[in-house]
Amino acid sequence: MTFEKLPIEIPEGERTPLVNWLLNLVGSQQQIIEKQQQTIEKQQQTIARLEEKVSSLDEQLKVAKKLKGKPKIRPSTLNQEEKKPFEGEKRAGSHKRSKKLSFIADEERIVEPEDLPCGSTFNGYRQYDVQEIILKRHNIRFLLAS
């Protein structure tokens, strides 16, 4: 028996029974290895085919159940030192202006408390604005004693 992968050639006259036995053992192991490599290649092809089939069945199942795809989860921003502002967006309420600055009271009414306990002191008035729409503008400012 001749082997292509032997590092050196052993002539027939120098081969002992042990060397012949070892060469036969190596030859049978090489055949086993080649058969296993063929089996592995077939199994890898089968696995690839089955993985494609499983992925297509998963997609069909998601469509049949009307499920959403995998969610996109953003990384946490808790430990970031610098907070990035939103692109082109202002914070809620930042574009609003105060409407009290242009409020003009057309009429002021003073509301006095009905029953005051003895020994109470007058602390001034608290403003409470009511805007009503009549055919003309008519603003009333109530001054509540507190």
pLDDT for 102-130, tens place per residue? Answer: 788 888 888 888 888 888 888 888 888 88
Q: Which of 117, 110, 120 is nearest to 145 (CA)?
A: 110
Helix, strand, or coil (residue 50): helix
* Gyration radius from the chain CA atoms: 46
Report the distance separating Cα 92 and Cα 97, nearest Å.
12
pTM over 0.85: no
Q: What is the Cβ-side half-sphere exposure of residue 60, based on CA atoms within 13 angstroms?
A: 6
Report the distance separating Cα 21 and Cα 9, nearest Å.
16
pLDDT for 50-60, tens place per residue? Answer: 999 999 998 88
What pLDDT score was predicted for residue 49?
A: 96
The lowest-confidence range among 2-6, 57-61, 89-93 is: 2-6
What are the C-alpha distances in Å from 120 to residues 50, 110, 115, 117?
88, 18, 11, 6
Report the distance separating Cα 45 and Cα 61, nearest Å.
24
Report the distance separating Cα 61 and Cα 67, nearest Å.
8
| Average pLDDT taken over every residue of the chain | 82
Residues 6 or more apart whose CB falls under 8 angstroms from that of 3 comprise: 23, 26, 27, 30
Q: Encoding tokens for residue 134?
A: 């009549």
CB of 110 closer than 8 Å to CB of 125? yes
Q: Which of 37, 41, 38, 15 is nearest to 3 (CA)?
A: 15
